[in-house]
Structures are given as C-alpha cells and as structure tokens.
Amino acid sequence: MNLFWPRASLICVALFVPLFASEFAPCAAAQAVDSVYGRLPVFEFHSSFWVNLHHFLYHEARAREAAKTNVATASKSTGAVLKKDANSVTALTQAEQLAWDGAIAYYIANYVHKDLLVNIDLILLKNQLGDFEDCAELTGKKERFCNAGLPGNIGTILEAAAPVYRAHWWADHDRANRRWVARVAPLVREQGVGLSERLADIYQAKWPKEMIRVDVCAYANAYGAYTTLDPLRVTISSTDPNNQGPEALEVLFHEASHDIARPVENAIERECRQRDKPIPRDLWHALVFYTTGEVLSPVLSGTERSIDDVITPKTLMNTPIPSDLREKITQRGWEDYLHLLTIYWQPYLDGRVTFEDSIAHVVSSL
C-alpha cells in the first residue's frame, strides 16, 4: 500500500513547532531531519482534523453509552450542553445539536463496542482519515480526489459533524496537540537516535526506515495511546496526564516498539510450543513496557549524561526499575510478569546473557 503523507497538517520534529490554533502551516523542511540525524527514522507528527474528529466522536459515544440515564435527562433541555473541558461547557444550536447527536448515534450503533486497537474496520477508517487529512470533505462531492471511499455512511456522517466540531472544539484540540509536539520535539531531537538504536539492538530487529506517523489527538483510547501495524501508525492523546513531560518520550518509543518487538513475540511463541506450554497472554507486551522503561530511565530521571552516555549499554546497566514503571505494569495485572522479567530479562539488558537464553528462562519459569 502506497501511503500518502500530506504536508498541510504535518508537524516537523526537526524544527521548533509554532502553535497555530486552527490553521496548518506547510512544512516544506520535513525531510531536513535526515541531515540532522542521518538515515535513522524520525517520528512524523500530525494534528489531523478528521482523525481528531473521529476519536472525539468515539470518546463521546462511549461516554454517552456509559451514562444513558444522564443523557436522557440532558436531551430534554433546549440547546443541549457538552463539556469542552473540566471548567467550561459548549452550548450547541438546535441544528448543531441535531448533526452532532446524529454522529454520536451512528458511532454508538456501529463503533462504540469495537476496540480501536484490534478492530479492522476502525483501523482502516483511522488510516483512511489520516491519508485524506488535507481534504475539506470525504465524499468527493466537490473534489474528486477527496473521495476517501469510506464504507457505509460514515463519510456523510463525519462531514455533517465537521462544522460543529470545527466551531466548538477543534481550535482547542489542535492547540493542545501542537503544544504537546512542541514540548516533546526537543526530547526526540536529543535522544531519538540513540534510543531507537538501543531498542532495535535489544529486540534484534531493524528500526523502520520510514518516518513513523504519529497522530496526535485530544483523545485516543482508554490507555491514552495505541499502535496499529501494516502500516505502522501511532495514535497518542495530547491531553492524557500520563503522556506529559519527559514521559511523552517513553510513550512514543513504547508504542513504536510494538513493531520492532515482533522477534520477542515470535521467540516466546516458539519456546512455548517447544515446551508444550500455552502462550501467555500479554507477556510480550509486559516485556515491551519493561524494556522501554529501563532504556529510558536515565532520560526520565533527569540524570545528567551526554547523548552518547545515554545510549551505551554500560551506562544503562543495573538501572533500578522506576516506581512509575512498576505501577504501570501492576495496574495491568502483570505482577508475575514483572517478577520474571526482573530475574531473567534484566540480565539480557545488562549484557550478561543472550537473547535466546533470556527468553528460554522466562518461558521455562512460567
């Protein structure tokens, strides 16, 4: 599949990012990162109107579905109100409310019970919306090249909801997205190459040659970020409290690692079959969490090191597990995995055992 990488809403990591509210500036120097970092990949950040609208509708639909009784009461009032954030509300006109409710109803009926991460319909829809982010429409009524070929009525539904979203939420969401990118871009410039080299080496894989597209949205999924493969694309929430500050870098590299960690997943499956053991659910995911936290620990802790020091194995050896990493793993119910990874995977990160032996020991101890 040939991907179309639009420029109008692309935010370059090679430059400081201006915080425009709703208009997108062309980014002609997007490939300038090659001259700065060499041929190693760089994240390509997008604040896409259609992708943001899609995730916001999904978020609102799930919220309404979870609170039907409250919605039933609110819908009886005139000029129904929806929150923009914790301290403000947005009053919609009758026409706006009709269009917005129609979009929410469509999402409730068709998408709200599907997972953004694994449902193929939602994955394809997200990717198509990203590919057509430069278009002001999705059905090609005015411009043929803006016919995204979306299934069912979703194109019409999104076009109807678009003016409402643009009038009441988009400026704030886009501003939050661009602010988030502006804050994480320096970390990517300073640490990105070394971290990508280190992680690829750990997983015995190659980092993708292409820029990794990151859709920055006000809302993502329940975890604040997710990754879909083939093509590799990351979606991350700019407003999630867990994605702020230096931790934003951890989220980015954790999500990107979902692709390069496939050798780990394959090795676990192979060892389990050889030992006639069931393949453990989410062990590979816990390992990715653990590994990303370990590799980024010097960066997140604010340790004073040069870039070269951060990426060398010697300086990354024997780093204590950060408390926030422990919390993230235990919150997902992976306490047993954390114990095994500390005993058997950490020695591999320290360079004391081989990849194969480490995976074998982890699986044998299940």
Q: Rounded CA gap, 238 and 57, in Å?
A: 16
Least confident of 50-59, 80-89, 94-103, 295-304: 80-89
Model confidence at 348, pLDDT cuts 50, 70, 90, reads very high
Strands 233-237 and 225-228: antiparallel
Give the tens place of pLDDT for each residue, 143-174. 888 999 999 999 999 999 999 999 999 999 99
pLDDT for 314 beyond 50: no
Output the pLDDT for position 194: 87
Adjacent-strand bridge partners of 43: 212
The tens digit of pLDDT for each residue in 81-103 reads 444 554 445 689 999 999 999 99
- Please give the structure tokens belonging to residue 154: 């979703």
**For residue 329, is pLDDT > 60?**
yes
The pLDDT score that the predictor gives to residue 127 is 96
Q: Is the pTM of this model over 0.85?
A: no
Contact between 363 and 272 (Cβ < 8 Å): yes
What is residue 185's predicted lDDT score, i.e. its pLDDT? 86
Sequence spans of domains, the chain = 8-16+38-176+205-239, 261-364
Find how far residue 242's CA is from the centre of its chain.
Answer: 12
Residue-level pLDDT at 193: 83
- How much is the mean pLDDT over the chain? 80
